[in-house]
Amino acid sequence: MGTIQEERNYDFLPLLAEKEEYNNYGEKIKGTLELEIEAYEDIHIGTGQYIQKDNRFAKECYKDIDGNACIPASSLKGAVRNISACVSKSCLDSADGKCLSRKKQEKRNRKENTPYRKIEKPCITCCTYGLDSYASRIIFSECKSTSSDFLIKKINQPYTPSKTEDGPKLYKNEVKNEEIEDNLEVEVMKKGTIFSCRLIIKEITIEQLKLLLFSLGLDESFEFKVGGFKGQGYGKVKIKAKAYNLSDSKGRKHIIQGSLKEFASTYYTECKDEKCTNVMNKMRTIMKPKVVEYEG
Ligand SMILES: [Zn+2]
């Protein structure tokens, strides 16, 4: 062809074809985790509005009621859910990180007339994060900060490539800096901002807990992004658990032996499905942690 292929800032994961209904029998865990979220990159979460600053118009960034930098619970939950759906036998269908709702599944079954298996019971991801009439078993609070510092950055109009592969799309942590050609301006929360978030867990199994803690990146083998312009070096966060309080139905607290990091990695180390392990390996390659440098 003679042309150099532009290096992509994203890659695709293989889609686990096998979908499994989840039987959430057995002992249930409940409790809370206190999370600390650090912005490793500037973050833009759009409001759909524009702001005027120094005679310029920029896409507005979400803020809390006091005007401080804040990641809405839905943005964080969506990102974590996406990881869970990718690495479990979920009913995930496309790159949007969501399992197909029953309605959509039925619609497609009719349209394609294919023996696409109808999910009678939700998969482990839907059982945890909710879908249709299945209630979510976990609640993230807003991720609050004390920072009211926002920056205006120039970015390129995001280029949405036509999908070339079947599996879910993930953004790489090593991005090549593109030249800024457009004059699109966005308001962003500053790299280095620290957010705090409470995660409430309402009765999930040990297996769901392992999947959840792994998907939060608490095993430190990968880092994910939230918000917009992920392909242009925005949105990477690092999550740490500052404290947790988990107990089983009898009030026993020794759910996690050893460190939370070790526990989170058991979702990977105990996986007996080769395809699933391959997906996790590829995910770790795409989103491998990067050492952060702060200027100044
Ligand atoms: Zn599902």
Per the prediction, the chain carries an average pLDDT of: 84
Residues 90 and 125: their CA atoms lie apart, in Å, by 6
78-89 pLDDT per residue, tens: 999 999 988 998
Q: Tell how far the Cα of 202 is from the centroid of ligand 1, in angstroms.
A: 18
| 197 has pLDDT over 70 | yes
The answer to whether 34 touches 198, Cβ cutoff 8 Å, is: yes
Q: Is the dihedral of CA 111, 117, 119, 120 positive or negative?
A: positive
Q: Tell how far the Cα of 228 is from the centroid of ligand 1, in angstroms.
A: 24
Residue 223: Cβ within 10 Å count: 19
Q: Tell how far the Cα of 245 is from the centroid of ligand 1, in angstroms.
A: 27
Each domain of the chain, given as residue ranges in start order, spans 10-286
Please state, in angstroms and as integers, the Cα–Cα distance from residue 117 to each residue in 120, 190, 228, following that order. Answer: 9, 45, 34
| pTM reported for the whole predicted model | 0.87
Q: Tell how far the Cα of 27 is from the centroid of ligand 1, in angstroms.
A: 21
| 192 has pLDDT over 90 | yes
Q: Tell how far the Cα of 257 is from the centroid of ligand 1, in angstroms.
A: 29
Residue 168 pLDDT: 75
Q: Tell how far the Cα of 76 is from the centroid of ligand 1, in angstroms.
A: 18
Q: Tell how far the Cα of 275 is from the centroid of ligand 1, in angstroms.
A: 18
Residue 19 pLDDT: 75
Please state, in angstroms and as integers, the Cα–Cα distance from residue 29 to each residue in 25, 211, 218, 244, following that order. Answer: 12, 13, 18, 12
| 223 has pLDDT over 90 | yes
Query: 30: which DSSP letter?
Result: E
- DSSP conformation letters of 190-247: PTT-EEEEEEEEEEE-HHHHHHHHHHTTTTSS--EE-SS-GGGT--EEEEEEEEEEEE
